Amino acid sequence: MSDELLVVRCQLGEREAFAELVRAWHGPVWTYVRRMLGPVEADDVSQEVWLAVVRGLPRLKEPGRFAPWLFTIARRAVANRLREEYARPEVAAGDGPVSPDATVALVDRAELVEGLSGLPAREREILVLFYLEDLSVEDCAEICAVPVGTVKSRLSRARRMLRDHLTEKGYRR
Amino acid sequence: MNPDDMIGKLSRPLSLRSRIGAVVALLGGLVGAVGVGLLWATEPALPGRTHLAFGLLVALCLAWTGYGSWALTRRTPLFALDQVIAGWLSVVATGLLTAAAVAVAAVRGTWVGVTGVAVAVTMTAVALVVLVRARARHAALLRRRRELEGRAGRP
């Protein structure tokens, strides 16, 4: 069932449709929050995100654009937690609270996941949205409220930083 | 936390009962405040303690109105079906208020009573508009759901 149909059924007031929506999107939201904030805060912030979704869903005008809308809410929740980190200069914002764990290191993109924890919040965010959540550049731009060109340059900088970071850690291609 | 745990944690804001409860609180408070206020204003001579009792009743009704408004704007907004139910409840509640206001105006025959009727009729008109809009929105969403289901079922 498409997201749009699920959202329309939710807007009608079908509780089961909301449960299906949560089952479909809880994982990506949780992963995004976990990558941005670490495992300790992932549950709490994910719950905040879903509460905001419940409150905002009746007013969502474009049900077909659910994913960018959802990640915009998630990003806002994450940004609230990272506000202090965001207030610092970008180059000094690298010491994120995320720490890699052994389980995640077993997945296909282990190097990326491990390297993410060493990146500043903005670069980490764009890599998570683009690579781990498979969102388009346009969706990333909408979620981050920046132009597409900024997303591309941020992605490019993030890739370079990640490459440098992984090289420092001893990874070789 | 898995998705089912999350759904469990969201059960309260998703509960139809709690949303309709907030609507009833808002409507009951508002209609009660206007109704009691009208009775209070049209009584010709009242002792001090009765004035105090009316004042407390109006304050209590306004407190329920405030709670209902807060719950609906900040905690759990209404989905389309809830809006239709809320619309019908509003029409019934304001209709009863209008009938009571007309009765008070007929018995007392003062300008305050006539003003009360005007207020009640305005509230009923607003409630009717709310109901019509809610039904239109519900119907539009149902149409969209049928379209999407038809598209999904097409080979």
pLDDT of residue B155: 53
Cβ contact A8–B3 (<8 Å): no
Q: CB-based burial of residue A99 (10 Å sphere; 0-12 exposed, 13-18 middle, 19+ buried)?
A: exposed
- A73-87 average pLDDT score: 78
The number of C-alpha atoms within 13 Å of A173 and in the hemisphere containing its C-beta is 6
Chain A positions contacting chain B at CB under 8 Å are 1-2, 4-5, 8-13, 15, 18-19, 22-23, 26-27, 30, 43, 46-47, 50-51, 54-59, 63
Task: Give tens-digit pLDDT for B98-153.
Answer: 999 999 888 887 888 889 899 999 999 999 999 999 999 999 999 999 998 887 76
- Which residue does chain B place closest to A2, by CA atoms? B152
> Coil, helix or strand for B4?
helix
- Check residue A97 and report its DSSP letter: S
**Ramachandran bin of A172, using left for φ above 0, alpha for ψ from -120 to 50, beta for the remaining angles:** beta
Residue of A172 and B35 predicted with greater confidence: B35
> In the structure encoding, which two tokens stand for residue A130, read together?
């683009």
The tokens for A18 are 């909301």
Residue B82 sits at the chain A interface (C-beta within 8 Å): yes
Contact A23/B3, CB-based, under 8 Å? Answer: yes
Structure-model confidence comparison of residues B52 and A127, the more confident one: B52
Kindly state the greatest CA–CA separation across chain A.
Answer: 54
Probe site for chain A from B20, B72, B144 (most A CB atoms < 10 A): B144
Q: CB neighbours of A138 closer than 8 A, spacing ≥ 6? A: A148
- Which run of H or of E encompasses A22? helix A15-37
Which tens digit of pLDDT belongs to each residue from A44-72? 899 999 999 999 999 899 988 999 999 99
Its sign, for the CA torsion B71, B74, B80, B86, is positive
What is the C-alpha to C-alpha distance for residues A139 and A128, in angstroms, rounded to an integer?
A: 13
Number of neighbouring beta carbons within 10 Å of residue A59: 8
Confidence label for A95 from pLDDT (cuts 50, 70 and 90): very low
Structural tokens at position A98: 């995320």
Q: Which two tokens stand for residue B41?
A: 């204003």
Alpha-carbon gap, residue B16 to B34, rounded angstroms: 27
**Chain B residues touching residue A22 (CB < 8 angstroms):** 3, 6-7, 10
- How many whole angstroms separate alpha carbon B13 and alpha carbon A28? 22
Residue of B nearest to A23 (CA): B3
- Say which residue, A75 or B1, is predicted with more confidence: A75
User: How would you class B109 by CB atoms within 10 Å of its CB: exposed for 0-12, middle for 13-18, buried for 19 or more?
Assistant: exposed
Average pLDDT, chain A: 80
Does residue B9 sit at the A interface (CB-CB below 8 Å)?
yes
Encoded amino acid at B13, one letter? P
Q: Find the DSSP H helices in B10-79.
A: 11-14, 16-42, 48-70
Contacts of A58 in chain B (CB under 8 A): 77-80
Is the minimum CB–CB distance between B77 and chain A shorter than 8 Å?
yes
Verify whether the Cβ–Cβ distance B7 to A22 is below 8 Å: yes
Q: Which residues of A touch B6 (CB under 8 A)?
A: 22, 26, 46-47, 50
What average pLDDT does range B24-41 have in this prediction?
93
- Which tokens in the block code for residue B114? 């006539």
- Helix axis angle for A66-87 and A3-12, nearest 10°, is 90
- Coil, helix or strand at residue A142: helix
Three-state secondary structure call for residue A47: helix
* B136: CB partners within 8 A, 6+ apart: none
Q: In this model, does residue A133 exceed pLDDT 90?
A: no
Kindly list the residues from chain B whose CB atom is less than 8 angstroms away from the CB atom of residue A23. 3-4, 7
Q: Note whether B148 contacts A8, CB cutoff 8 Å.
A: yes
CA dist B149 → A13, A15, B49, B76, B137 (Å): 17, 18, 63, 28, 18
What is the rounded CA–CA span in Å between residue B47 and residue A164?
84
Residue B131 contacts residue B90 (beta carbons within 8 Å): yes
| Chain A residues close to B1, C-beta within 8 Å | 30, 43, 46-47
Is B144 an interface residue toward A (CB < 8 Å)?
Answer: yes
Q: Over pLDDT 90: what percentage of chain A?
A: 27
- Across the interface, do A46 and B1 touch by the CB < 8 Å criterion? yes
Cβ distance B145 to A9 less than 8 Å, yes or no, reads yes
Q: Which of B13, B138, B73, B1 is nearest to A12 (CA)?
A: B138
Is there a contact between A46 and B78 if contact means CB atoms under 8 Å apart? no
| CA separation for the pair A155, A120 (Å, rounded) | 12
Q: For residue B154, what pLDDT band results from cuts at 50, 70 and 90?
A: low
- Express each pLDDT in A144-173 by its tens digit: 888 889 988 988 888 888 888 777 766 655
pLDDT over threshold 90, residue A130: no
pLDDT tens column, B50-103: 999 999 999 999 999 999 999 998 888 899 999 999 999 999 999 999 999 999
Q: Could you report the predicted ipTM of this complex, rounded to two decimals? A: 0.82
Q: Which residues of B touch A1 (CB under 8 A)?
A: 152
